[in-house]
């Protein structure tokens, strides 16, 4: 099963327990294959380095570089070949869709972002929350 995790899903999965964490665990254990573009990777790194997460990371004994190094153990990096302008309200969200264009046989895009979730799907690929993804997979 091939998935893309929007930045908010990844960050929530790293910093808090819950559905996002369960999804990230599925990816790290090979149950799901996680795909990421270099643009999304840069955004992950930027968000992890934000001051507002520093205390949370420190309390968990985590550093952004260590998290990203662990991510490289299981993520598939793809280069995007398209530019998309589907989400006009927040153009940065389009990088998730650009990544989707570069992943053959993609099964799900996971996001907590209303702009993406309101699309419902992109080129036939469902855009769902982490909890919806788990509901669809686990009977």
Residue range 109-137: average pLDDT?
96
- State yes or no: pLDDT of 82 exceeds 90: no
Closest CA to 100 of 27, 40, 13, 11: 40
Crossing angle of helices 38-48 and 94-101, in 10° steps, is 140
Angle value at C-alpha 135, between 133 and 137, nearest 5 degrees: 70
Neighbouring residues of 135: CB distance < 8 A, sequence distance ≥ 6: none
Q: How confident is the model at residue 66 (pLDDT cuts 50, 70, 90)?
A: very high
pLDDT value at 116 more than 80: yes
At residue 133's C-alpha, the angle toward residues 64 and 104, to 5°, is: 80
pLDDT tens-digit series, residues 34-53: 999 999 999 999 999 999 99
Say whether pLDDT at 2 is over 80: yes
pTM higher than the cut 0.85: yes
Q: What is the mean pLDDT of residues 2-14?
A: 96
Report the alpha-carbon distance of residue 44 to residue 86 in Å, rounded: 21
The residue that leads in pLDDT, 92 or 117, is: 117
Q: What is the pLDDT of residue 6?
A: 97
DSSP, collapsed to helix, strand or coil, labels residue 3 as strand
Instruction: Go through the domains of the chain in sequence order and give each one's CATH number.
Output: 2-137 (3.40.50.1010)
Closest Cα to residue 11, out of 101, 128, 111, 89?
111
DSSP state of 33: E
d(CA 123, CA 61): 40
């Amino acid at each position: 099963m091939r998935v893309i995790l929007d930045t908010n899903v990844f960050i929530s999965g790293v910093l808090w327990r819950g559905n996002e964490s369960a999804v990230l665990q599925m990816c790290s254990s090979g149950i799901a294959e996680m795909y990421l573009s270099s643009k999304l990777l840069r955004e992950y790194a930027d968000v992890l380095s934000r001051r507002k997460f520093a205390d949370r990371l420190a309390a968990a004994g985590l550093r952004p570089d260590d998290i990203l190094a662990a991510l490289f153990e299981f993520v598939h990096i793809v280069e995007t070949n398209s530019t998309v302008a589907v989400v006009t309200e927040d153009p940065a969200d389009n990088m998730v869709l650009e990544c989707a264009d570069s992943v053959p046989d993609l099964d799900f895009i996971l996001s907590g972002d209303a702009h993406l979730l309101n699309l419902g799907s992109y080129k036939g690929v469902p855009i769902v929350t982490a909890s919806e993804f788990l509901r669809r997979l686990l009977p």
